[in-house]
Amino acid sequence: MATTEAGTRITLKNILYLTDFSEPSEAALPFVAAIAREYEAKVYAYHVLIPAVYTYTTPELATVGVEAQEETAISNMERVKSQLSGLGSTTIVERGVAIWPSLEGVIKEYGIDLIVLGTHGRTGAQKLMLGSVAEEVFRRAHVPVLTIGPWARSGLHKGAKFHRVLFATDFTNESLAAAPYAISMAQENQARLILLHVMKAPESSTTRKAIEDAESSAMFQLHEIVPPSAELWCKPEGIVQYGNAADKILEIAKAQGADLIVLGVRDARGHIGAATHLERTTAHKVVAHAPCPVLTVQA
């Protein structure tokens, strides 16, 4: 698994690219290739072939349909393989009745350090804002997940490089577990690193001095996140804001022109984690609406 000691760069040896050959999956592929080159990682391009339900058909025709699906998937994987030319890569097409059981086995078998996938975006149901497969991966995976959503796909990413990395934290262990990834991504891309902490609005009775002390403390903690040994090409910038965590993360990401957001996510026993202020929906809202790719790291 990836190394995350403070002050050292993470090691990504094996990247899993989950694809269904759709437009969102295609949009994620350049990011897979770029990260693999930066970290000299191997890419496992993976597709789970779930047979369609053939109603009112004979077993013979159903078999023909399944074989046709498999041939199409293998053909599509050849195209993916060609786009990963020059990188160490393996393509995998497996039959399964559901995505997660097959995916979980691949994560363990190949020692996956990072999952990359494109999300389909809003479908009208809150629980399916990322697309059903992305939802399940986001909830269940215990390795970092990089999601490229519809808002991110409309942005400009030159060569799928990250130039401004936004790391949001509430200073809990869960959120700080993602710090090495934010620092490493900034190092590898020679990117500007923006550190954000969102505070709850102070009570009306809170004195000005208490507010200033809280802000100063938060700013100090932000700068303490990046160790002196980190080889960043520019000085990290700390930002302290008041308001709703998810809304502020999205607002700052847009205002700062961030092209990668990094969040730590609490393991909530199968439920979507919380990135800041331990709110259950924070990370989900950010991933669903972010103007750029989002890397979530589950502690």
Tokens encoding 228: 């002196």
Looking at the fold, whether 3 and 139 belong to one and the same domain comes out as yes
User: Average pLDDT for residues 35-63, to the nearest whole number?
Assistant: 77
CATH number of the domain encompassing residue 106: 3.40.50.620
Looking at the fold, whether 182 and 267 belong to one and the same domain comes out as yes
SS3 content of the chain, % helix, strand, coil (to 5): 40, 20, 40
Which of 73-77, 150-154, 271-275 shows the lowest mean pLDDT across its residues? 271-275
Give the pLDDT of residue 129: 44
Give the pLDDT of residue 1: 44
Chain mean pLDDT for the chain: 83
C-alpha 143 chain-centroid distance: 10
Give the pLDDT of residue 245: 93
Last residue of a domain, one of 95, 127, 158: 158
Which residues, in sequence order, are bridge partners of residue 197? 240
Domain range for 10 is: 1-158
Interval 196-247: pLDDT, tens = 999 998 888 889 999 999 999 999 999 999 988 887 778 899 999 999 999 9
Looking at the fold, whether 291 and 222 belong to one and the same domain comes out as yes
Looking at the fold, whether 2 and 129 belong to one and the same domain comes out as yes
On the question of pLDDT at 277 being above 70, the answer is no
Q: Tell me the residue length of the chain.
A: 299
On the question of pLDDT at 2 being above 70, the answer is no
Looking at the fold, whether 63 and 124 belong to one and the same domain comes out as yes
More confident call, 57 vs 278: 57
Domain count along the chain: 2
For residue 190, the SS3 value is: coil
Looking at the fold, whether 48 and 192 belong to one and the same domain comes out as no
pLDDT above 70 coverage of the chain, percent: 80
Looking at the fold, whether 4 and 151 belong to one and the same domain comes out as yes
Last residue of a domain, one of 158, 175, 191: 158
On the question of pLDDT at 14 being above 80, the answer is yes
Strand order of the β-sheet with 89-95 is 89-95, 42-49, 14-18, 114-118, 145-148, 294-298, 260-265, 164-168, 192-199, 237-242
Interval 92-139: pLDDT, tens = 998 877 788 889 999 999 999 999 999 876 544 444 444 667 778 877
The pTM of this model reads: 0.86
On the question of pLDDT at 278 being above 50, the answer is no
Looking at the fold, whether 148 and 16 belong to one and the same domain comes out as yes
Give the pLDDT of residue 80: 93
More confident call, 31 vs 68: 31
Looking at the fold, whether 64 and 209 belong to one and the same domain comes out as no
Looking at the fold, whether 150 and 167 belong to one and the same domain comes out as no
Last residue of a domain, one of 158, 178, 202: 158
Looking at the fold, whether 192 and 152 belong to one and the same domain comes out as no
